[in-house]
Structure 1
């Protein structure tokens, strides 16, 4: 392996395993404090698209796998394999054509950066719910983001994608150019057989009255709250996002649990937003501990609120699912798990989507439903890994009968069956066939990495 040849070919940094900065660079690859056991042989910090092309061609010659990394904000460590980690962090360009309502963005442009740049132009996009997640993993996984009930999933608003495949050739793919690759890049997640280096996005007008009302209920009221959420979503516009958050009561040590019913309206007029909140309130069940008044929540504020639930440096595991029939039982199962969570920081979400939400186009993103739920397991000490992972899997296995499939962006990908269930069977079969055709050497084959076990802990 001629590393000097690669160094001469790229403008960015090439960090081999014997480099003094290698250990620190590897530690910084993943946002999750729970690191993975797989160790790369090289880290390439691309400074431009030609660096990406050179790295892919080098990997093909050397027989190494390539793990593209946008921001390392994944829970399973799928961006850290045992070959070359291709760090795309410098490819974070955002260019906006306001009149055409088009943006061109790099893979490392984050949700927060894009939302802020668009807000300044009076525009919007269904960016993801977590501010620091970049477009790379978010849109490759499909993009279940803000106001998806009205705007559609993120991938539904992608006009074209620039990709570098295993042959080291840069292609722009769309519905009319390399349509099959375009199909795959919209939702394949870790099954994708290339590196995305740019997106061209269709934008939306920015709603001028984004407001939120929060009602706090005892966790035991979960079935009644979910029934109310479903009834409310039947009578309000599809630009309402309604989520139940099941968590420890604020200020408690985890012994007290509550359910927050969070209704966010993406309206264009304050009076309209207030009227919609009134319709939701008219159906609300009795027994709320607290009702917070309607408050303005532009996307930047929503990010500030959500960011409080994801402390940097903590250890994370996650699983998510789509549900349909029996949604009350599904969410009640999540609530039952939260009541027994070993960590007070762990929480679960359940979002009821509008029945009039847009139908997504045909793409690799092929698993979805009217109710989405997610369990976030958060803890601090390595010695607690096994207990928290076991709890997560007991909780999610306990609701399996109500599950249609999983969302690849927040699925427990350390379990192979989860990864397979992130796509409809026919879509997964098509993706696997395309992998063999476009990446016969398996350069982009992403094995499911194992987390580094805590000292003395048993595998969950």
Structure 2
């Protein structure tokens, strides 16, 4: 039993570094098989909001810096730090829906699949993360670019209130009328947020009556032409269509190892007819003779959408990712990244390029859209001996496009890279505001700040 927790009654939910089972628990807090070599002194697996209060108070009394984890989907493993205390919130998974007010109160460990299923019972929905196993905690704190976000906006725009434990160990309620600055920071600050959120109140949306998808796939050599066409079409699509370009290796129905560019439109409509009408601009493609395959107006479900994401980002693989906002168009960005993809050491590497991923301009909050275009390259592999080759490939791919960049998205940015990824994930004014709010709520730096090694972080 941990010497840190005996006197506070947390011994049954905590493990310290020299306890049996510590390493399995440490590895288990990161979904990525590429587990960082960082070792907290103690890991507290909270079973209630009260455990979080006690853990923060204990950490403060012991001068242990605190990191917080909900679902472990941070590609760079931000919650794992050397020393201090890691508070694991993945066991906090209560979800309460109020159909009359179209709101839900959810704890941070609730996953997208769990939330979508529960909301479906009431004919409601929320823009959850594209991977169903992503928990809402870190996702909402980082902004949240998920299913149907072009219509709903970033997921954090749907947060109406949070319950949090501040650095002094006090539980507080934050909203537009209470602790307003902390509420502002909670919607977008990401892994540098300086409190532990134990519950979110979410504003919900009507559940789509039908989901329909259209997909065109072309040889990667035609990426520039395809990007021009897709950009033109996407500009005329309604917000209820989530449109994207992706670069990767296509397997079923093509020669093994065929690298391709794919255009996907997913419509969320009140009926199948409406969803199909939303996708009409994607039906007639002037490049259709070049296509490797096409699927038009294919009926989908949320479960099928999660399955498609799971195929791209399967469990038990090793991952590295980075992000870039840019004012350059997709023809220029994807032209560079397509050349990089041809040199990828793994045929699972991919690049995602969604159109208008955050939808309408968000309200006043820490998250902000920093460019007209957005791309996310992913290195995906399974052999530990290929770690250096794959992480090196990602850095080189980013090096090709960073001169075109205007910023990063904190949720998936490579915060281990030797540059100011965290600072460049916010406007200059918002970065300064984050510094000021952190100074007010966590003047002693109890909560770890961002992972970037050279960051002059708030």
TM-score normalised according to structure 2 size = 0.93
- Which 5+ residue runs of structure 2 have no aligned equivalent? 454-458
- SS of 1:129's partner is coil
What is the rounded CA distance, in whole Å, between the counterparts of 1:447 and 1:325 in structure 2?
27
Moved more, 2-11 or 404-413: 2-11
What is the rounded CA distance, in whole Å, between the counterparts of 1:380 and 1:141 in structure 2?
27
Q: Which residue matches 1:318?
A: 321
What is the rounded CA distance, in whole Å, between the counterparts of 2:439 and 2:272 in structure 1?
53
1:6–1:408 distance in 2 versus 1, CA, 3 Å: farther
**Contact 2:127-2:152 at 8 Å conserved across structures:** yes
For 1:215-226, what aligned pairs fall within 5 Å after superposition?
215-226=216-227
Q: Which residue matches 2:38?
A: 38
- SS of 1:444's partner is coil
Q: Which residue matches 2:282?
A: 280
State the Cα distance separating 1:223 from its structure 2 match: 1.7
State the Cα distance separating 1:119 from its structure 2 match: 1.6
Q: Which residue matches 1:370?
A: 372
For 1:157-176, what aligned pairs fall within 5 Å after superposition?
157-176=158-177
1:138-163 CA distances to partner (integer Å, 9 max, x unpaired)? 00000111111111110111100111
**Contact 1:317-1:377 at 8 Å conserved across structures:** yes
Aligned-residue Cα RMSD (Å) equals 2.0
Q: Which residue matches 2:56?
A: 56
- SS of 1:334's partner is helix
Q: Which residue matches 2:351?
A: 348
State the Cα distance separating 1:367 from its structure 2 match: 3.7
What is the rounded CA distance, in whole Å, between the counterparts of 1:381 and 1:5 in structure 2?
38
- Which 5+ residue runs of structure 1 have no aligned equivalent? 451-460
State the Cα distance separating 1:354 from its structure 2 match: 8.0
**Contact 2:422-2:450 at 8 Å conserved across structures:** no
What is the rounded CA distance, in whole Å, between the counterparts of 2:167 and 2:438 in structure 1?
10
State the Cα distance separating 1:60 from its structure 2 match: 0.7
State the Cα distance separating 1:2 from its structure 2 match: 8.0
For 1:68-147, what aligned pairs fall within 5 Å after superposition?
68-81=68-81, 82-147=83-148
What is the rounded CA distance, in whole Å, between the counterparts of 1:56 and 1:102 in structure 2?
29
1:282–1:364 distance in 2 versus 1, CA, 3 Å: same
What is the rounded CA distance, in whole Å, between the counterparts of 1:8 and 1:179 in structure 2?
31
Indicate which of 410, 422, 426 corresponds to 1:423: 426
State the Cα distance separating 1:130 from its structure 2 match: 1.1
Q: Which residue matches 1:242?
A: 243
What is the rounded CA distance, in whole Å, between the counterparts of 1:407 and 1:140 in structure 2?
12
State the Cα distance separating 1:405 from its structure 2 match: 1.1
- SS of 2:100's partner is coil
- SS of 1:3's partner is coil
Q: Which residue matches 1:300?
A: 303
**Contact 2:325-2:408 at 8 Å conserved across structures:** yes
**Contact 2:328-2:373 at 8 Å conserved across structures:** no
State the Cα distance separating 1:183 from its structure 2 match: 0.5
Moved more, 276-285 or 103-112: 276-285
Matched positions, count: 449
**Contact 1:116-1:300 at 8 Å conserved across structures:** no
- SS of 1:241's partner is strand
1:424-443 CA distances to partner (integer Å, 9 max, x unpaired)? 11111211222222112211
TM-score normalised according to structure 1 size = 0.93
Indicate whether 1:290 and 2:293 are aligned.
Answer: yes
Indicate whether 1:182 and 2:195 are aligned.
Answer: no
1:52–1:331 distance in 2 versus 1, CA, 3 Å: same
Q: Which residue matches 2:312?
A: 309
1:333-362 CA distances to partner (integer Å, 9 max, x unpaired)? 22221122111111111111289x321011
